[in-house]
Structures are given as C-alpha cells and as structure tokens.
Structure 1
Amino acid sequence: MTKMKSIVMVMVTVLFAGAAMAQSIDDGKRFLYYERYKSAKDVFQKLSAANANDETAAYYLGQAMIGLEDVAGAKALYQQKLAATPNSPLLLAGMGNVELLEGKTADAKNRFETAISLSGGKRIDVLNAVGAPNSDPEIKNGDAAYAIDKLKQATTLKGFKDPEVWANLGDAYRKIGDGGNAVQAYQAALDINPKYARAIYRTGRLYQSQGVAQEALYTKYFNDAIAADANYAPVYKTLFNYYYETNVSKSAEYLDKWLAASDDDPKACYFRTSLIYAQGKFADAIAKANECISAGGTNVYPNLYGVKALAYNRLGDSINAKASYEEYFTKQAPDKIVGGDYSSYALVLLKFPGNEAQAAGYIEKAVALDSIEANKVNYLKLLANAYRAQKNFGESAKWFNQVLSVKKNYSNVDLYNAGYDYFRAGKFDSSVAVFNKYTAKYPDEIFGYYMIAKANTGIDSTMTTGLAASSYLKAIEIGEKAADKSKIKDQLVGAYTFMMQYSYNIKRDQKAAIEYADKALAVDPTDAQSIKNKEFVTANDPNAKPATKPTTKPATTKPATPAKPATPAKPATPKKK
C-alpha cells in the first residue's frame, strides 16, 4: 500500500511539473509584449513554482506585477529571491527597476551596475533589463542616456537578434528627443522581425508627439501596426484615447477592440463609463459608475469615483461632486492622482464659502505635480477665472500673476489679465509692476504705457506729483505713430484728456490744455465730453481765478483687451486619470 502511494505521489509530481512546463518563458514574454500582464503573471508564477531557482521566471514575474501596478508585490518578490540568490544579475536589475519607480535613482543605478558587472556585460537579457526601465517614457526617473549606452552594448554581443532591445533603444532615443535615431532603432527591430508591431506602433507614437501636423503619418503607422498584428492591444488603447474627445463612436469601437485583445480588466467598466460621460450623458454616467462600483466588490477601480465627481459637477450638484471627489482621494493611490484631479476639486471647493485657502492649496499641488507647462498654466487660470467671476480681483490677479512665473513665453493677454485685475483691485503698485513687464516685451504698443499711467493716477489721484504724466506722454507718442488710430481710440483720447487736465489744473497752462483738447477731438470729433472740455479750457484762464477741474476724468471706460489666444484646454477628463 505504501509503495502504491509513493508511485501515485511521483505521478502527481510529474504531472504537476509537466503542466507547469506546458507554458514556457517565451509564452510569458509574449503576454508581456501584448501587455496582457495578468496572463503573463499566471505563466511566470507557475514556472517559478516549478523551479524556485529560475531567475528568469522570477524576474519576469516581477515585471508582470509592475505591469499590473503592483510595485510593492514586485519588490517583495525580488527581495525574497535575492535573499536566496544575492548575485543574480536579472533579479538585481529587476530590483533596480523597482527603485527607479520609487524615485531611488542612486540605489537603482548601483543595482544596474552590479548586475552588469556580475554578468560581465555579456548577457543580452541583463543589459535589456537595465535599459528597458530607463528608456520607458512613463518612468520619469529613468536615465535615457544610460539606457542608450547599455542597449547599444547589447546589440554588439555575439548572437544578438532581439527586436525588443532595438525597440527599447528607440524609446530611449525618443525620450531624449532624438527622433532620427529613434526611427532608425525601430526600423532595426523590424529588420529582425517585420511583424514586430510594437516597433511600428512606437514609430507612430513618436510622430504623434510632434502634434496634429503629423496626423496623417502617425495614424498610418497605427494602422500598419494593426495590419502587422491585429492582437497588439496597445495600439487600440491609444486610438481609443485619441478619438475620445472628437469621435465618441469611433473611440467606443477601439475600446471594444482593446478590451477584446486584453485580459479581463477591472478598469473595463470604468472605460465604458467614461465613454458615457464623453457623450454628455452625465446622469447615465453616474448610474453606470454606481453599477460598476457595486459589481466591483472589494476590487473597485478608484477612478470610478472620479468620473462620478466630474458628472455631478457638470449636473450642477456640487454637494455630491465634493463627496465623490473626497471618496476618490481616499481610495486612489497617491501616485495615481493627477494635477487635473486636484484642479477640478479646487473649483468645486470654491462653491462652498470658507474653502478658498484649501482650494488654492489644491491648485498649488496640481501645478507642482504636473511637468507640462500648458497644464500648469491651465490650472492657474482655472482658479484665477473662478475668482474673477466672483469679482474678487485681488485673488484673480494673484493667480494670473503666477502664470507669468510658470509660462516661459507669456503673451500680452497673460500680462493684461494680471495687470488689469490688480488695477481693478486697487493694487496699483502691483499693476504698475506687471505693466512694466508689458512695455519691456511690447515696447511699441500703447496699452502698457497707458495702463502704467492709469495705475499711477490711482496712486496720485490729485495729480499733485504728476506721477502719471510721463507714461501718458509715452502712450501719446506711441499712439500718434499708429496708422490706424481707431483701434486705440479709447487709450489715446484718455491720454489726451489726462494731459489736458494736468496742464490746466496743475501746470496752469491754458494753451497746452487747449492743444490736448484739440488732439482728443481730432481722434474723435463727436465725443461730447471732449467738446465740453474744449469749451471749458478755452473760456477759463486757469491763472485768472482758482482752477476748476474739467468735469470729466480721463478715460473712464475699460481699456480694450488685447487679442485673446486660443481657448485654454479643458480639465482632465475621466479617461486621463
């Protein structure tokens, strides 16, 4: 009986080993290539269980975990395996990958160098494991130049024929902005395997980063990638995002293809919800999100709370929008919260009096978190415009002024927004400071000098010191050179009116006052107040009796706004979270 049990146990062991080896390292790597991380994890778990000393299976198991956003799990795995085999080059490279994701760049570099040293710099898989995370555009801490050096080294080794290395090298070149060498590297991958869809797709992504002018080219590459391998899921994901805001039905089509080519994903319900939101069906999006949350049990995708918050806000339900945002921030991993989340929440908070300081704090978080200048500017403008709508010009000016610090090449409108709102808030010194920047950048425009003069008039309201006079004279000098004075009529008439008043009341110079009144009428002969001013200063000698000011203050109308740039981008939409 004991002998029979032993035979059965041996058979079970053999069967188990056979089942585990039914799938190979290459099978698991193929799943990684298609970004089917759950399937890849299943394969490598079985392989690692069958052979605990298989460093390759353990390394790729960790990579699958990272793909599933389980960095902590990958770290624990690599630590466990390194405790048993501390000199494993692949496992050291895997731990370096984790440390890059944690922002520990010095520790990561040390791991990578140790891995290369232990392998003598002669293992293609190790050099690729070092180069891949450093070339990844999503890993900001990666050193692309270092990746280029190590990946190029891999291509020189005997027996090299791995298109993945060339594709990673292309990514590294793309990361440093070297598009020419990136395209060459992707082509080298295709020379090895013409059906290597990743290289075709990545070439398309390169051209996509150059803007809509390259649309025909990058969409061609995306379609070519699909033609090469219809199972390559990443290209469908990109096309889903690409059409999300412009063609919802087409976006939905690519979402279906993406999900069909992917593993079962708890995010799938969220993506479908986001498409409902994109169609403007906000109540339906909330209902779908609630359905997804109920079905998710303990594995709810946190972004569902974010799309609920956006939808509630679009419906004008600030109370539920605020509650949904707070739930989202509680459930979402901190490193997954993006600047658009903070800025959108800040605008909701402003609808509840007493939360102004908290809202400002969230905008500052959004600006600090984002690396893209246009996004930073958008966050600041969202808050500034919210304060402007409340006619709280002191606060709107403060935030518009921060745009000038963030934006490398600010425009006349950026300067106008900050300077004019400081003026409206009565913060004349700050207004002058901004419009000094205006005249420095646009020395041939009347507007900057005119607003400096108006702000100085606010400081010297009695004209006693003549603080505004020199700037008004400069505005007149610029304005009189203009070929088309109709566009600057308000500023020019305002400057002449001030100088007429200043000449009459302060300088007691009737002749000069009449000349400025005449100049104002030359610009606008029908202006009733300029006619009255001319009559007054002509009929009354300021030296003959106590001076009486003309009845009109200079330029009481709002100054013309400079031409506005394109409408700023919308806040982050659910799909971008």
Structure 2
Amino acid sequence: MKMISKISKIVLALSVVGSSAFAQSLADAKKAIDAEQYQKAKTMLKNLTTTQANKDENFFYYGWVYVLQEYPDSAKAIFQKGIAVNPKSALNYAGLGAVAVLDKDKAGASTNFNQALSLAGKDSKPYLYVGLSYLLNNVDGKVPAEDANAAIAALNKGKAVNAKDAEILIALGDAYRTQLKNTDALSSYQAALDIDPKLAHAKVATGVIWKYANNFESSETEYKAALAIDPNYGPAYREWAETDVRWAFNDPRMASAKIKEATDQYKKYLSLTDLSLDSRLRYADFLLLSGDYKTLQTEAQALSKDAANNLKVYRYLAYAAYENKDYPAGLQAMNTWITKADPKRVIPRDYLYLGRLQIASKQDSLGIASLRKAASIDTTQADVYSDIGKTLFGQKKYLEAAEAYNTYTQKSRNAKLLDHFYEGLSYYYGFQDQYFSKDKSVKADTSLLAKADSAFSYVAQKSPTTPDSYVFRARVNDYREKDRNNIVGYAKPYYEKFIEVALAKGAPADKVKKDLAEAYVYLGTYAEFKDKDMAKATDYFTKAREMDPTNKQVVTFFSKKGGAAKGK
C-alpha cells in the first residue's frame, strides 16, 4: 500500500488546467464529461450558457455535471434556467427528474420524467437521460431492481425512437450490468461498437463486466482496447486501477504487483482529470477501496480545509480514523458529517462506521442502535450483524447476540467459522442463563440447545480438527440428560472425539488440559455409574488427574476411592 501514498504528493503538486485552453463547443464539453473531466466541462458549459444563452441543452449538460458530482441543489437551479429558456425542454425536465432521484423523491422523479418523455418527440436523448437518472443510486455496481427496470424500460423506448443512438445502447448495457444480466449487457455494448467502433466507453464498460466476473485478464484486454482508441481516456485507467485492486484481494500471490500497478494506473487517471476537489474525492474513494487508510486519512486531512465546499470530506476522515484506531477523531468527524450533511446524502455505511466508532468509544448502546439503523436502511447490509453480535456478546446479552450472529451467518457471504462458533456459544450461554436463573418463572428453552448444537456441528464439519467444537457439542448434549442418576450418555461420543482431536495436535496447552480433564471426568463417571466398571473409571480419572489435579471431581473421586480402600 505504500506505493499508493505517492499519489497524494502528485495530487497536491499538480494544478488545475486553465480554462483558456478549453474548446468551447457543446460536443467538446460532452466529451469532457465522458472523460470525467468535470471541472473542465463545467467551465466550458458555463461559458456556453452565456454565449449561447438561448440554447436550453447547454443548461442541461451544465446541470448534468452537477448531478454526476452529487450537487442536486446547484443542478436544479441550472435545469430551471434551461426551462426558462425553453418551457418545452425535455432534457431539462429529465434533469429535474434526476435531481429528484438523488433526493429520493419518487413522486417528483416520476412527474418530471413523464413530462420529459411527453416532450421528447423523436429525440432519443431525453430517454437516454431518464434511463441514466434511474441508475444514479448505484452502490458498489448495484442498483435496486425497481430503478434498473425503469431505466431499461425508458432506454428501450429511446432505442425504438433511434436504434442508431450508441449512447442509448451503452446505457442499456450499464442497466443490465447492475442486475448481473451480463449476456444482455455485453450484447448492448457490442451493438454500440457496431455503430461506432471508436467508443472507448463501451470497451471500458465491457472490461468492468469481466472485472466483476473475476476474469481480470479479459478486463485488461478491454481497457487496453479503449486506450488504443483514445490514449487519454481517463476512465479506462481508473477502472483498470480498481480492477487491479480487486485482483490483488482475490489473489494474494499477485497482491503486491497489482497494488503497485493500480497505483500507477490511478496516477495516470488523475493526470488526465482536472484535479478539482471532486477528482480528489474520487481519489479518496480509491484509497478506501484499496484499504490504504493511512494515506486516506492524510489525504482527507489535506482536503478538510475545503470541507465547507464538500462535507463528504468528513466521511473519509471518519472512515480512515476508525480503521487507523483514531477513534476520538473518527467519532467527531462522523458526527459532523451526519449532523451537517443533507440527510439524503447519508448512506447506510455511514451509520455502520458511526456504530463501530461509538462501540470503540465505549458507547455500546448508541453503537448498537446505529448499527441497527444501518441495517434497517439497507436490508442487504448483513455484515452489521457481526458487529452487533460481538458487542452484545461482550455485554453478556447472549440471546440477542445469538440472533445477531444467526442473521449474519445466514445472510452474509463474509461469515467465517469463528462467527458460526460464536453463534453456538451465544445460544449455549443464553440457555445456561435461563437454566441457572434464580427467577423461578424463567423456564430454560431447550430449543436453544438444538440451535447451539447445529452451529457447533457446522464448525466441526467444516473444520474437523478444531477441538473446541466437540467439547461444546458435548456440553450442549449433556444438558439433554433428564435423570442424572440414570444417564444416557448423550455427551459421550463428543467428549471421546474431543479427546481424539485434542491429543492429535501433540502436547495440549494448559487451557486444553482443563477441558481434557473435564472430558475424562465425564467418561470416568459414565464408566462408574453406567457401565459399573470401576477399573475403567479409575483409568479415566487418573488421566483426568494428569491433566488437572485440582479438578474438584477428580479430588472427590480419589478421596472417595482412598476412603473405600481404608474401609476394606
């Protein structure tokens, strides 16, 4: 990750290109937007809205840049100026719909989109931007199915208006991609390239499909093809960098080389943009993606002097500070972000980090509430339940912890065997709390034992050489005994398996010795009272004494045995 930190020096060293170098045509402005040179595009479009103030489309594209940068208020003001120029401006009504999407105003979006399409006539561009607007709420490459379907419907209508509009086909591909309909997406991108083989955007979009399929070599081929079309097409370098990061995380053997390559590619991307505040915020996104939290914190601190212009800086300060264990700074930054930002800009991950920061700051109750809020806003945020489970377990709220762990292990792809183990522990300790409760109205729920046993059984199946799962299965099953004077031996096979696995690892550690003593005591007791085999019982208790001579049941057994011998 050290290589990534070099970018921040380059970012600080480079300056914004002067506006005098910019071409002044709408076509050039649109090209700058596609290349993610947003400051350059805004400078050109601002000029065009002055020199060609009677053209409503100039206002639309000017506002659209603000939409892409998530400045809805600025975008809205510009779109309204466009409508003032031309009350029948379909594009600017599409822009107002896009603002409503950002503001999560479904009714406003629908009204403005309907107005845009009613005015579109034979112009496919309003259909294009209605479709693209529905894709704005994109999180990690995914869009809610309802929005994606609305985008696809609008874009297909635009395609019917003009089947040769390559931008419509690319947008269709993007919409299909968010729903993992990769065959349809690839077909749309290829159709766009058939119309215009020089569309670098379509090549990059194809590379992104291969990225999410973890076919990284094919991704690189597409990015190289895009750069062969246009060597200065920045998005190709950005996507290449992000693909390299994903490659590094998926293949540890390639991690070092791919992180270095990602750094180089992102350096090229930055050199091709205008290096505005928004470009640097995108760089912060890259640092977050790559896990270089130290550089992210340094960069966010450098950006904090411009925080008044974009409060999102506080989000990066909070994320980085948490990952770097600077909890006071992180909590302050996150509280600033959440209290000052437009509530519509606050995302579930913000509450996730707020909860983690609160818990790390010993504000457990507040932290759990924040984590639950993250989950309630986005039900796909299953990973929050891991944090909730850990915190509740630490508070000895075992049944609540068990339910949190269960949700996590059932819904998250990131759940590990340790999470399943703690799920079992939580159910087990929750049962014990009921079993030993001094409140006589509390009845121990035996279904908790079944849930605990299921979790421990899963761990044992996936990791047969982990002894802890067997000893806890033994303890769980021991509670199934209804008559202690006439035991069935439900725990016996699990204690025997525990001994086998624990001793297979060589000399046991002190903690394991105590557990081995427990197992031998159980087997000895079983031999004494169930099998009526005193020799076998003595053998087991002798082994237990070797493991833990202070074990009370061991001491009692040999004291009783010694007394019996003296009596003889």
TM-score (norm 2): 0.70
Output aligned runs, 1:167-206, within 5 Å.
Answer: 167-206=170-209
Q: Using the TM superposition, give the Cα deviation of residue 526 of structure 1 relative to its aligned residue in structure 2, in angstroms.
A: 7.0
Greater C-alpha radius of gyration: 1
Alignment CA distance shift 1:22-1:263 (3 Å): closer
1:230 alignment partner, SS class: coil
| Matches of 1:287 and 1:112, distance apart in 2 | 42
| Matches of 2:224 and 2:198, distance apart in 1 | 13
Query: Retained in 2: the 8 A contact 1:31–1:37?
Result: yes
Deviations 1:329-366 (A, max 9, x none): 4455544444444444434433444x221121222233
Deviations 1:129-168 (A, max 9, x none): 222223457274563233333333433446x432211111
Question: Which amino acid in structure 2 is aligned with residue 357 of structure 1?
Answer: S
Query: Retained in 2: the 8 A contact 1:164–1:189?
Result: yes
Q: Which moved more, 1:448-457 or 1:401-410?
A: 448-457
Instruction: Select which of 393, 396, 421 maps to 1:394.
Output: 396
Query: Retained in 1: the 8 A contact 2:307–2:314?
Result: no
Unaligned segments of structure 1, at least 5 residues: 1-18, 546-577
Question: Which amino acid in structure 2 is aligned with residue 417 of structure 1?
Answer: Y
Partner of residue 260, structure 1? 271
Query: Retained in 2: the 8 A contact 1:59–1:91?
Result: yes
1:476 matched to 2:476? The reply is no
Instruction: Select which of 344, 356, 365 maps to 1:357.
Output: 365
| Matches of 2:285 and 2:83, distance apart in 1 | 42
Q: Which moved more, 1:440-449 or 1:223-232?
A: 440-449
Instruction: Select which of 475, 499, 502 maps to 1:454.
Output: 475
Partner of residue 32, structure 1? 33
Q: Using the TM superposition, give the Cα deviation of residue 259 of structure 1 relative to its aligned residue in structure 2, in angstroms.
A: 2.0
Partner of residue 55, structure 2? 54
Query: Retained in 2: the 8 A contact 1:92–1:114?
Result: yes
| Matches of 1:119 and 1:268, distance apart in 2 | 33
Alignment CA distance shift 1:205-1:265 (3 Å): same
Q: Using the TM superposition, give the Cα deviation of residue 179 of structure 1 relative to its aligned residue in structure 2, in angstroms.
A: 0.7
Partner of residue 366, structure 1? 374
Deviations 1:177-219 (A, max 9, x none): 2111111111111112222111111111112122x4x122223
| Matches of 1:358 and 1:393, distance apart in 2 | 13
Partner of residue 223, structure 1? 224
2:410 alignment partner, SS class: coil
Partner of residue 322, structure 1? 331
| Matches of 1:519 and 1:83, distance apart in 2 | 96
| Matches of 1:323 and 1:43, distance apart in 2 | 39
> What fraction of aligned residue pairs are identical, expressed as a percent?
21
Partner of residue 420, structure 1? 425
Partner of residue 568, structure 1? none
Output aligned runs, 1:281-320, within 5 Å.
Answer: 282=294, 289-294=300-305, 296=306, 298-299=308-309, 301-309=310-318, 317-320=326-329
Alignment CA distance shift 1:313-1:415 (3 Å): closer
1:350 alignment partner, SS class: helix
Partner of residue 386, structure 2? 381
| Matches of 2:321 and 2:180, distance apart in 1 | 40
Alignment CA distance shift 1:435-1:297 (3 Å): closer
| Matches of 1:468 and 1:44, distance apart in 2 | 88
Unaligned segments of structure 2, at least 5 residues: 1-19, 249-254, 436-443, 462-467, 504-511
| Matches of 2:417 and 2:171, distance apart in 1 | 43
1:165 matched to 2:168? The reply is yes
| Matches of 1:55 and 1:272, distance apart in 2 | 33
| Matches of 1:274 and 1:58, distance apart in 2 | 29
Question: Which amino acid in structure 2 is aligned with residue 199 of structure 1?
Answer: A
| Matches of 1:151 and 1:280, distance apart in 2 | 38
| Matches of 2:201 and 2:485, distance apart in 1 | 66
Partner of residue 500, structure 2? 486
Partner of residue 131, structure 2? 131
| Matches of 2:151 and 2:284, distance apart in 1 | 38
| Matches of 2:537 and 2:77, distance apart in 1 | 83
Question: Which amino acid in structure 1 is aligned with residue 233 of structure 2?
Answer: Y
Q: Which moved more, 1:355-364 or 1:420-429?
A: 420-429
Alignment CA distance shift 1:534-1:292 (3 Å): closer
Query: Retained in 2: the 8 A contact 1:432–1:451?
Result: no
| Matches of 1:468 and 1:37, distance apart in 2 | 80
Partner of residue 410, structure 2? 408
Partner of residue 509, structure 2? none
Q: Using the TM superposition, give the Cα deviation of residue 223 of structure 1 relative to its aligned residue in structure 2, in angstroms.
A: 2.7
Q: Using the TM superposition, give the Cα deviation of residue 119 of structure 1 relative to its aligned residue in structure 2, in angstroms.
A: 3.6
| Matches of 1:467 and 1:331, distance apart in 2 | 67
TM-score (norm 1): 0.69
Query: Retained in 1: the 8 A contact 2:56–2:85?
Result: no
Question: Which amino acid in structure 2 is aligned with residue 133 of structure 1?
Answer: S
Alignment CA distance shift 1:291-1:536 (3 Å): closer
Alignment CA distance shift 1:526-1:453 (3 Å): closer
Question: Which amino acid in structure 2 is aligned with residue 427 of structure 1?
Answer: D
1:209 matched to 2:209? The reply is no
Q: Using the TM superposition, give the Cα deviation of residue 427 of structure 1 relative to its aligned residue in structure 2, in angstroms.
A: 2.9
Query: Retained in 1: the 8 A contact 2:273–2:279?
Result: no
